[in-house]
Structure 1
Amino acid sequence: MNLQATLTRVVKQAVHSIFNANLESVEFQATRKEFAGDITIVVFPMLRVVKGNPVKIGESIGEYLVENVEEVKAYNVVKGFLNVEIVDAYYVDFFNTIKDNNSFGFTSPKKDEKAIMVEYSSPNTNKPLHLGHIRNNLLGYSVAEIIKASGKNVYKTQIINDRGIHICKSMLAWQRFGEGETPESTGLKGDKLVGNYYVKFDKEYKKEIEALIAEGKTNEEAKKQAPILIEAQQMLQKWESGDKDVVALWEKMNQWVYDGFSITYKNLGVDFDKLYYESETYLLGKEFVDEGLKTGVFYKKEDGSVWCDLTEDGLDEKIVLRSDGTAVYMTQDIGTAIQRIKDFPDVGGMVYTVGNEQDYHFQVLFLILKKLGFDWAKNLYHLSYGMVDLPSGKMKSREGTVVDADDLITDMASTAQEISEDLGKLDGYSDEEKANLYKTIGLGALKYYILKVDPKKRILFDPKESIDFQGNTGPFIQYTYARIQSILRKAEAINGVSSSKIEKTFALQDKEKAVLKQLQLFPEVIQNAAQNHSPALIANYIYELVKEYNSFFQNLPIVMGNDDKASVVFRVQLSKTVGNTIKNAFKLLGISVPERM
């Protein structure tokens, strides 16, 4: 039984024994730093069942705890807050159980635990990945890793939007203006080459619109009648009917894009267990429309279209099949969700990482799947996130003003190089070591800056601000990790430092205890982050741990200037454990840590 559970049980006993009352629950919070104590019991909620002065009530409970809980050595009451002091031996025991555990905080999956599928990225194959995709990928990947660490099996997936009019626009522009160029002939990544033709299409389309308006057409008429758009629509019809030449061009250009995406994913440090393609899933779901018609979940209108009436659920009516029998996105998403359960029968829930502009879509999707009778539909979650802006403003793909993901990754490494060189900390590094370090710092800065923010909030991303070696940043935490590795290298010559057990009688300094108390929170933080689908909880936890460790480091000698062998052993082991926790927490965020910096 953990300490909080023990305190809960004994506090309830105390209230029953002293006041003849029954408490349903006990509220805890961290003790404020200006007061003595390690954990605080909030007395005010008890006043519902115990009448009297909260200070007197707190003192009575405090006396009872000192007498009945061996871990409690003292207490003090401030207004309605009972601050409890815990014996050092409790923290020393805890430390001895975790100091050699490299996976401290992580939970292994139970044998019969249902798996979770996490979908993220899901790009269109008409352009490279951009800054918005970076937030999507980082969130999805990190949430998958956190859920895995919380004790569940996880599958990472994406659905690639590889069909539709937007793909045909790039294809047609390449046919017209490409003169046969390829990624090999141009030296461009395939996704960038295809994206250039998407931009080219838009420029030509705008020229044709202007020409038609000059001939007397209205703006709306010109948009619909532009020859290049009509030709792209005809190309889409040919693709859907299986035209050999169009399908061959589609396969060739999509492969260019897939090859380009693979490079970006590798550089970003994300991966997938299963890929789905819209070209293979867009017809899925139709059979379940028929099932829904039979069970009354859907109804048919006079024109033959099929709808789901969700007005009683506070939503509206949603079309699931057009009058001509063709599917809509909702139909496809219904079918794809069901197909995933068929492909992975151990999956009991799914997380969809998609921007907040699709909030309503997922409300409807999840509700329809529940109405269709799928038990796993109650375990569907939309990981909704806000946009990422830059100081320079919004991005538009078709105008070519997006912040390209590859360029941003490269720029982050360059910014890290510039700042690192100014600080002059890299003497003795080879050029290759420097390049790897710049990439590690740059990517760490980018990932941490994005993931430390609650997913639902919009972000203004400032690259220079993210690469700061002070404050709540990735590089600050990476630097602390590297400093710890330096301490460990210096301590290697001291026999027994890395393995000796800490004696239960070891007396802790306040700064040491503060670090241990923060370490204790790690398993609970992982569970909370998994339940809330929030990497921000991990990021901000590790920042608090690093702050506590740096305060300990600055106030207490670890190896040099410390003549107490037991103290040296403990402080080196504590440093090592903090280093491992930083590394493990950052791994959940997809961030690497440098051994030297």
Structure 2
Amino acid sequence: MNLQVTLTQAVKQAVNTVYKAELETVEFQATRKEFTGDITVVVFPMLRVVKGNPVQIGEAIGAFLVDNVDEVKAFNVVKGFLNIEIVDAHYVSFFNTIKDDATFGFTTPKAEDKAVMVEYSSPNTNKPLHLGHIRNNLLGYSVAEIIKASGKKVYKTQIINDRGIHICKSMLAWQRFGNAETPESTGLKGDKLVGNYYVKFDQEYKKEIAALIAEGKTEDEAKKEAPILIEAQQMLQKWEAGDKEVVALWETMNQWVYNGFDVTYKNLGVDFDTLYYESQTYLLGKEFVDEGLKTGVFFKKEDGSVWCDLTEDGLDEKIVLRSDGTAVYMTQDIGTAIQRLKDFPDVGGMVYTVGNEQDYHFQVLFLILKKLGFDWAKNLFHLSYGMVDLPSGKMKSREGTVVDADDLISDMATTAQEISEELGKLDGYTEQEKLELYSTIGLGALKYYILKVDPKKRILFDPKESIDFQGNTGPFIQYTYARIQSILRKAEATLKNDNITLSTINADYTLEDKEKAVLKHLQLFPEVIQNAAQNYSPALIANYIYELVKEYNSFFQNLPIVMGNDDKNSIAFRVQLSKAVGNTIKNAFGLLGISVPERM
């Protein structure tokens, strides 16, 4: 039984026996380092049902626990805090159950449980992926892996925004200025080539606005009447009408972008189980807009546009179909959600990984789906996250001032190379091994730096700060893992020569404080996974593993593992403890999508 469950039952029994009172809950916290103990019971909340001095109440409960709970060795009370010491045998027993378990902390999904669908990436096909997309992909992929580890079946998906006015802007600019160039003729990745024409459209659009203003138009008039924008709007209407020439160009340029995206996803280490395309799901969305018009969920304005009135729900009116009959984002999001539940009836909930600038959009989407009568809409969750900033300022795709994802991934490997060479850590590596390690360190630094931050918070990303072999960074944790593997390799000869077997540790093994500290932290891993899944927060995993690594490094620096250790039992335990920590680092980093090197 879980230690906290055992203690909860015993504390409730103590209060009932001594004070004839019933406790509903028992509050625990980690014992502060300046006090003796392994787990602390907070007495103050008990004063609602138990009258008396908190110290005396703590003393009475502590005495009961020592007499009645095998796991409790001793206690002390500091003000209203009951600090409990746990017998070493409890931690040794725990260790024996997990030391050879390669999947410690992970829960196997139950066949009868509903699945969870996690959406992330969901890019527009008019530009390459950038730093903001990187946070989205890393966050969505990691949340999917964490939910899976918590015991749920998970589908990873994305909606590819492959239609709309922004797509037509790139298409029109390529028609006007592209001279029929292709990814093959230019040597550019397809997504970058198309993105260049999105920027080109904005440049030409601004020129036309300036010219119209010079002719006496207001800025608002000029923005609406610029010929290039009107032509793009007409192209969208032709596309929705199925114009063969427009659709053929759309298919060609989108395929260029898809091919480019695939390269970026592979380099970033993320994948998907299924893909949806706005060009397909918006049609289903339009069908349900028609249904909603009949049932009164939506209404039509004089210009023919269709809206949903959410004012009684504290929101405003939301457009779901333009006056010219073309769809908006909301239309396709309605269709996509419905299509997904049709395709995957075992899905019980969906997580949308989208930046916090879309908070209102998802509030409206979920409410509209409820009004349309879909009961599963109550299980939809918007994983809202903050933007990523750079020291140089905010990014703007249409102005071409974004940090390209491919360039950043490459730059991270280069930065890792520069720092590694300065530290001189790579003697004996082949050139190929060095390149692979630079990539592992660079990507690990990038992913950890982004994922260790609570998703809701905005990030100022500093590449050089992220690749530091000291402190709360990916490379620091990767280095600790590699050190553990080195220890294990070196230990093999000693274990063989001294005939030391890595078998079950005797229950009477006496733990050093540093050993116990590592075991106590290892014991938290399953609970951390569950909490991270419930809160959709990879940051909980990242910061847990950093604390485990700190505890292990303190143990490593203060206690000999093999060299200088003459106690065979101690050697056997410490080698296996190191192996268990290494396994946990690898598993936890796997949940973050981060690889660990066997040596560095």
Q: Note the alpha carbon deviations across 1:438-474, whole angstroms, 9 max, x for none.
A: 0000000000000000000000000000000000000
Residue 555 of structure 2 is matched in structure 1 by 552
Sequence identity, in percent? 87
Q: Note the alpha carbon deviations across 1:461-519, whole angstroms, 9 max, x for none.
A: 00000000000000000000000000000011213657311111110000000000000
- The match for 2:508 among 505, 510, 515 is 505
2:514 matches 1:514: no
Contact 1:14 1:61 in 2 (8 A): yes
Alignment CA distance shift 1:225-1:369 (3 Å)? closer
- 1:435-474 residue pairs with structure 2 within 5 A? 435-474=435-474
Contact 1:497 1:573 in 2 (8 A): no
Contact 1:498 1:572 in 2 (8 A): no
The aligned amino acid for 1:546 is V
Residue 533 of structure 1 is matched in structure 2 by 536
Relative to structure 2, which stretch is displaced further, 263-272 or 299-308? 299-308
Contact 2:502 2:573 in 1 (8 A): no
1:326 to partner: Cα distance: 4.5
1:364 to partner: Cα distance: 1.4
Residue 16 of structure 1 is matched in structure 2 by 16
Q: Partners of 1:547 and 1:130 in 2: how far apart?
A: 33
The aligned amino acid for 1:507 is T
1:365 to partner: Cα distance: 1.2
Residue 225 of structure 2 is matched in structure 1 by 225
Q: Partners of 1:9 and 1:589 in 2: how far apart?
A: 35
2:157 matches 1:157: yes
Relative to structure 2, which stretch is displaced further, 371-380 or 217-226? 217-226
2:179 matches 1:195: no
The aligned amino acid for 1:264 is T
Q: Partners of 1:512 and 1:538 in 2: how far apart?
A: 22
Contact 1:447 1:591 in 2 (8 A): yes
Residue 383 of structure 2 is matched in structure 1 by 383
1:49 to partner: Cα distance: 0.8
1:234 to partner: Cα distance: 2.3
- 1:100-499 residue pairs with structure 2 within 5 A? 100-300=100-300, 305-322=305-322, 325-493=325-493, 494-495=495-496, 499=502
- Gapped regions of structure 2 (runs ≥ 5): none
The aligned amino acid for 1:360 is Y
Residue 29 of structure 2 is matched in structure 1 by 29
Alignment CA distance shift 1:328-1:198 (3 Å)? closer
1:304 to partner: Cα distance: 5.6
Q: Partners of 2:271 and 2:566 in 1: how far apart?
A: 49
Q: Note the alpha carbon deviations across 1:390-425, whole angstroms, 9 max, x for none.
A: 001111111111000000000000000000000001
Q: Partners of 1:406 and 1:276 in 2: how far apart?
A: 23
The aligned amino acid for 2:316 is D
Relative to structure 2, which stretch is displaced further, 284-293 or 248-257? 284-293
1:172 to partner: Cα distance: 1.7
1:225 to partner: Cα distance: 2.9
- Gapped regions of structure 1 (runs ≥ 5): none
Contact 1:586 1:592 in 2 (8 A): yes
SS at match of 1:319: strand
Q: Partners of 2:257 and 2:22 in 1: how far apart?
A: 65
Contact 1:105 1:523 in 2 (8 A): yes
Q: Partners of 2:224 and 2:369 in 1: how far apart?
A: 36
Relative to structure 2, which stretch is displaced further, 222-231 or 347-356? 222-231
1:103 to partner: Cα distance: 0.4
Count of residue correspondences: 597
Alignment CA distance shift 1:497-1:161 (3 Å)? farther
The aligned amino acid for 2:526 is P
- The match for 1:524 among 502, 524, 527 is 527
Residue 568 of structure 1 is matched in structure 2 by 571
Contact 1:497 1:572 in 2 (8 A): no
The aligned amino acid for 2:28 is F
Contact 2:237 2:326 in 1 (8 A): no
The aligned amino acid for 1:584 is N
Q: Note the alpha carbon deviations across 1:332-373, whole angstroms, 9 max, x for none.
A: 212210110000111010000001011111111112222333
1:283 to partner: Cα distance: 1.8
Q: TM-score, normalised by structure 2?
A: 0.97
SS at match of 2:113: coil
The aligned amino acid for 2:345 is P
Alignment CA distance shift 1:296-1:206 (3 Å)? closer
Q: Partners of 2:22 and 2:327 in 1: how far apart?
A: 59
SS at match of 1:198: helix
Q: Partners of 1:170 and 1:340 in 2: how far apart?
A: 29
Alignment CA distance shift 1:448-1:498 (3 Å)? farther
2:99 matches 1:99: yes
2:562 matches 1:592: no
Relative to structure 2, which stretch is displaced further, 169-178 or 202-211? 202-211
1:550 to partner: Cα distance: 0.4
1:292 to partner: Cα distance: 3.6
The aligned amino acid for 2:354 is V
Q: Any runs of at least 4 consecutive aligned residues in structure 1 with deviations exceeding 6 A, and if so which?
A: none
Q: Partners of 1:303 and 1:396 in 2: how far apart?
A: 33
Q: TM-score, normalised by structure 1?
A: 0.97
Contact 1:26 1:41 in 2 (8 A): yes
Alignment RMSD: 1.5
Q: Partners of 2:500 and 2:179 in 1: how far apart?
A: 68
